[in-house]
Amino acid sequence: MSAAGKHTCIRITLDRTEWEQSIQADILKVLCNGESIEFSLDQVHIFTTKIGIMPVYLSGKIIHCKAIIGGNFSMPKTPAITSTELGTLWMTYQQKTLSLRMLEYFIEKSDDRKAKAIMSDLHTEINPYVEKITKVFQREGAVIPVGYTTQDVHLNAPKLYDNYFDIMFIRIMNQISMGMHTLHLSMVVREDIIMIYKDLTAIKQKYYLACTHYLIEKGVLARAPYVSMPQEVSFAKDKNYLSGFNLLSEKRSLNTVEVAYLHHAIETNSVGLQLMTGFAQCAKEPEVKKYFVKGKELAKKIVHDMDEILIQSDVQLSASASGSATTSTIAPFSDKLMMYVTNLLCSFSLGGNAVGTAFSLRSDLPLKIGVMTKDIFGLAHEGAKLMVKNGWLEEPPQMEDRNKLIQG
């Protein structure tokens, strides 16, 4: 390729396996800042095509090359990353580094051989995907997010939760991940990123089932209410099927779809109640401690309100799940990490409530779920402001601010 032709963006790498499929040369010569520099095959990685100035990353420092002097090579076919792909990978990086840190603590404190094996295997399978996402960011020239590091977990802290809570919590985190990865899979188009979400979805499904089977085996999983099997198909015959607001009219019994979402809300908030209790006991900042107390009280209210709906319809209550906070007041996690977990659970609840509202046909249920949703949103918003105040809210990659650029 001549100096007048297209220029190529190259980047130094120590990983031969990544670039040898896209480069065919023993030596590549480039003109950098007026000086001819040769790069051996072990140093060069071509990752995109550009017209004009060619940045070269050498030992972490960028120098600009205006021409390629020699070297025969083929260009890679991977397209540049889109804003959607960058954003979803950023979210996945945050969530996965969080999960790894919490798993490390739960593994350290677990005294159940099978529970420890489930969590250790999950940690082993997730960790390579953090590395894969990191490499995507590096290839695209994007800064690596901070996420959550070993500074956010304290493995020597005493046990904050009783047995079984760890698997119950990991099960819920797997629920969140399954939903996130499936959604993100539908939003991306680049093949390597599609494969990341496809693989992660399969991993999370596998360990969600492993956690479920473990809890059933231990007899501590709260099962949904049972019901008599239908013997015939029925269709709603009048508007009373939708009734619920009128205090003078009799409300119809709940259907199984409505019970399913009520039970799910009870199950997740029962675990959330214990999680917030432990967080409130060990948080360092007074404001953060008060925030977790609010989260605990909200979770308690949601469980009470959902149970009340079941009682009014003569539906048996879901059994209380085992696994509660201990008396420890020593934090195993940073306040920053605990705040992010709470924010993540709030987001999960908001999404679940939206679906539950859409499929609840008795008119009083969407109203009650709507009030609950408003309270959850208020808690999430308060938490976000608290994270900003303390410098804990890492910003996702931003789109270009065109107005600011125009104004200079």
pLDDT at position 47: 36
Helix then strand then coil, in percent of the chain rounded to 5, is: 55, 10, 35
pLDDT at position 179: 93
Instruction: Report the predicted TM-score, pTM, of the whole model to 2 decimal places.
Output: 0.78
pLDDT at position 37: 52
Side-chain-side CA neighbours of 342 within 13 Å: the count stands at 38
pLDDT at position 222: 84
Give the residue among 29, 104, 127, 34 at the shortest CA–CA distance from 72: 29
Torsions phi, psi for 178 (to 5 deg): -60, -45
3-state secondary structure of 256: helix
Q: With contact defined as beta carbons under 8 Å apart, do 39 and 28 qualify? A: yes
Q: What is the rounded end-to-end Cα distance, in angstroms, of the chain?
A: 37
The residues, any chain, with a CB within 8 Å of residue 288's CB and separated by 6 or more, are 335, 338, 339, 386, 390
Q: How many residues does the chain have?
A: 408
Low-confidence ranges of the chain (pLDDT < 50): 1-28, 30-33, 40-76, 245, 247-248
Torsions phi, psi for 237 (to 5 deg): -100, -20
Q: Which two tokens stand for residue 16?
A: 């031969």
Q: How far apart are CA 282 and CA 285, in angstroms?
A: 9
Q: With contact defined as beta carbons under 8 Å apart, do 204 and 176 qualify? A: no
